[in-house]
Chains A and B, each alone.
Chain A
Amino acid sequence: MTEADIIAGCQRNEAAAQEYLYHTYSSKMLGVCYRYSGNRADAEDMLQEGFIRVFSQIRQFRGEGSLEGWIRKVMVHTSINILKKNKRLYEWADLSHAMHLHSRGDWIPSLVQARQIVELIRSLPLGYRTVLNLYAIEGYSHREIGQLLDIEESTSRSQYARAKLHLQGLLIREGLWEQPAKRNKHRAATPL
């Protein structure tokens, strides 16, 4: 069964093809939803809602770009739509509060790096986190983010700058990220 067969099966509303598509992408897409959500249960709701949209709109998929990329885009849009109903998305809280929240936990050392980074991103306030996810990870432009979240482009830009600075601080503190200058020095010092 090729990807084209799966898409054709889903377009015909065949349960087996839908199940195959779901099992292939659900774990990755839940990871995407989790970055936007407040907790795992919300992420699962986003995932379910997202897949309903995937299967109902799959006729619109023309094969331009990868199927995974298209599904991911649907998931992100679904997550944003759900978040928009939550007013906290537009509250640009004090980032020092996020630092405080994060410092309380001692769970970091036991988790793998990818999970650690995701949890650090999730420790940011919702508005900052959403802008950071959209710009740095999904690759949206600030103009697109502005349109998507109904905010000014300049707001997106400034909030991203703050979120990034704060996240870098967290990553450095946890030993997951080195400042470029430091890294370049380290690379130069390492014998080939």
Chain B
Amino acid sequence: MGHQQEHIDFEEFLQESVSRFRMTPPSRVWWSLYNNLHPSRRWPSPTSWLFFLTFLILIQTHHPQKVDPTSTSAFRVPLESFQQPSPSLSELTEVAPGTMLASASTMEQHSNQPSQVRRATESINRATDFPEMLSSDETTLISAIDTENGEKRMATPSLFVKGSATDGDGNPSTPISGPKTGDSKHNRMLVQVYAGSGIGMRSGTSEGNGAGTDPASTSRNTMNEINLEAGGAFLMRLNRSFRIKAGMQLNYSRFSLSPSKDLIPVSSLTPLDPDEPGLSRNNQSFQISLPIGTEYKIAGNDQFQWFAGATIQPSYLFRQSLPGLYTPGYPADLHLRKWNLNTSVETFLSYTLPDGSVIHAGPQIRYQVLPGFSNRLITDDRLYQLGLKLGFFRTL
């Protein structure tokens, strides 16, 4: 009898002790399960996103710049053509800044006349910025670069230089014509990929709503966040200083939240672990945004430029996780606002690489206009994020 009682005692003791034991699974278990249950709604994981964006950046960095086949002869320009006297230009000539720069750098490698090459390069740069200020000699020099073996080549038209075109023999030539490989609007387009990380602060004000010790109380809470951001955008140059842009962006936030500390008094919310109501849990959210905005060049030269920009970002919260909380009747996750509006201001320095692509880096402040939580949880919360953004530009 005593032995039987001991059996029951021991098993009851084990059952009672073990029943209190809980472990919180990481959110990836749920997302893996979700993807398994709903394959049609599957979203790529953050790792896949990062991989995809890295791939894009690598393509942008290593892909050879598109050069029109007819203009590749610019790399084989005979030096004699630069040494010959150049008559004045009198007709409209179309030349491409990209082609000219490539030609000039090739000249620099092969020519024994660096001063003339340097002069040509400077003239090309000036032609890009201020075509009307070019002297006749300078336009002649540019024209000479674009000429090979006495035959005129077709150049990618993006810049109109007023003057007269000549061939390599110094004879007056007709304006360069032929099929166009692009138009000026096309060359004004840029593609940008970027990624960034930062820290954020979610500042919330909870008003007493009948729960807690003091129903009339108003408490202010802050939750710190870690943010990651990645995206891509198309930009269009409006003029030398202004660009407009539109794109798509993914934002990931991870924040620690203690139900009792951060969200009480909230009568509708209770922690899942009643034994540990003050336990902080790591929560996360994935947001997809469509940033639309503008960038302004404050200062700079051909290599270094300083920009300031601003965007508004309609955003959709497509994944969220608030483990450890539930509201009778609703999953806690439903308390996160799905649609939101973010704004951001940024400033960045850009540097032009020899292959023509541009890297940029700078700080960004992002502000969430609407509360992140629905009104049932926190009456008024706002999210501020400060981060560093790195990216690439490439002319289309």
Where the two chains meet, the residues of A that have a C-beta atom closer than 8 Å to any C-beta of B are 1, 13, 15-16, 18-20, 22-24, 26-28, 30-31, 34-35, 40, 43-44, 47-48, 51-52, 55, 113-115, 117-118, 121, 135-137, 139, 164, 168, 177, 180
Contact = CB atoms under 8 A, between A and B. Distances in A.
11 contacts: A1-B328, A1-B329, A1-B330, A26-B24, A30-B23, A30-B25, A34-B21, A48-B33, A48-B36, A137-B18, A180-B2
Contacts of A27: 22-25, 272-273
B319 to A, nearest CB: 11
Q: Which of the listed residues B11, B33, B36 has the most CB atoms from chain A within 10 Å of its own CB?
A: B33
Interface of B: 2, 5-6, 9-11, 13-15, 17-18, 20-26, 29-30, 32-34, 36-38, 41, 272-273, 323, 326, 328-334
Nearest to B28: A44
A30 B24 contact: yes
Contacts of A177: 10, 13
Contacts of A35: 18
Contacts of A13: 37-38
Contact of B18 (A16, A44, A117): A117
B33 A24 contact: no
A115 B21 CA distance: 6
Nearest to B2: A180
Contacts of B21: 31, 34, 114-115, 117-118
A116 to B, nearest CB: 9
B25 to A, nearest CB: 5
Given A117-B14, A168-B10, A180-B9, A15 B38 contact: yes
A interface, over-half SS? helix
Contact of B29 (A18, A47, A136): A47
Given A22-B30, A44-B29, A180-B2, A117 B17 contact: yes
Nearest to B334: A16
Nearest to B34: A15
A48 B13 contact: no
Contacts of A117: 14, 17-18, 21
Contacts of B25: 26-27, 30, 44, 47
A72 B263 CA distance: 31
B41 A15 contact: yes
A135 B10 CA distance: 12
B5 A26 contact: no
Nearest to A10: B37
Contacts of B328: 1
A81 B10 CA distance: 27
Contacts of B331: 16, 19-20, 23
Contacts of A40: 23
